[in-house]
């Protein structure tokens, strides 16, 4: 691999003494290539912050590797989703005086046409405004 580009993924040569894993090209100059280790020797994603700079001649011994970001297991994705939802709900529960009206706006926007005869865009605006308020509250921005 002689012409690296930023975001390429490579394996180091086995005999070079670098920690095993997948490296992402994060910088290229005329004389060197800077790499960030993004996966361990088994191809599992890691966030080590380890960087190394190699000469362009030494980089020729590296071999192309697949992007490790696509190798996350279903359990890892489900776990991250669980914790995200849990944090979101906790943020809403911490501000009930703000969350209550936002939830009410969304619910009334969805089913309020059964109780009031308003133009359809009014219900759309309620759903949109309530959803945006919930997103801001759940993310801790309000």
Residue 15 and residue 40 share a domain: yes
Q: Considering 69, 88, 120, which residue would you say is the last residue of a domain?
A: 69
The confidence band for 105, taking pLDDT boundaries of 50, 70 and 90, is: very high
Does 3 fall in a domain? no
Query: pLDDT, tens digit, for every residue of 2-34?
Result: 688 888 999 998 887 888 889 999 999 988 999
Does 2 fall in a domain? no
Q: Considering 45, 69, 93, which residue would you say is the last residue of a domain?
A: 69
Structural domain for 49, as ranges: 9-69
Mean of per-residue pLDDT scores for the chain: 88
Query: pLDDT, tens digit, for every residue of 80-99?
Result: 889 899 999 999 999 999 99
Residue 121 and residue 105 share a domain: yes
Residue 133 and residue 106 share a domain: yes
As for how many domains the chain has, the answer is 2
Please tell me the predicted confidence (pLDDT) of residue 97: 93
Total-model pTM: 0.51
Please tell me the predicted confidence (pLDDT) of residue 1: 59
Q: Are 97 and 82 in contact (CB under 8 A)?
A: no
Please tell me the predicted confidence (pLDDT) of residue 72: 63
Residue 132 and residue 80 share a domain: yes
């Amino acid at each position: 691999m002689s012409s690296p580009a930023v975001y390429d993924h490579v394996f180091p040569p086995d005999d070079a003494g670098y920690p095993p894993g997948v490296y992402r090209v994060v910088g290229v100059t005329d004389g060197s290539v800077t790499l960030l280790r993004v996966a361990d020797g088994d191809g599992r994603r890691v966030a080590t912050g380890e960087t190394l700079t190699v000469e362009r001649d030494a980089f020729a011994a590296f071999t192309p590797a697949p992007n490790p970001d696509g190798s996350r297991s279903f359990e890892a994705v489900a776990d991250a989703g669980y914790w995200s939802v849990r944090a979101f709900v906790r943020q809403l529960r911490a501000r009930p005086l703000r969350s209550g009206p936002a939830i009410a706006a969304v619910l009334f926007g969805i089913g309020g046409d059964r109780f009031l005869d308003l133009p359809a865009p009014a219900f759309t605006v309620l759903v949109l405004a309530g959803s945006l308020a919930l997103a801001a509250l759940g993310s801790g921005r309000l």
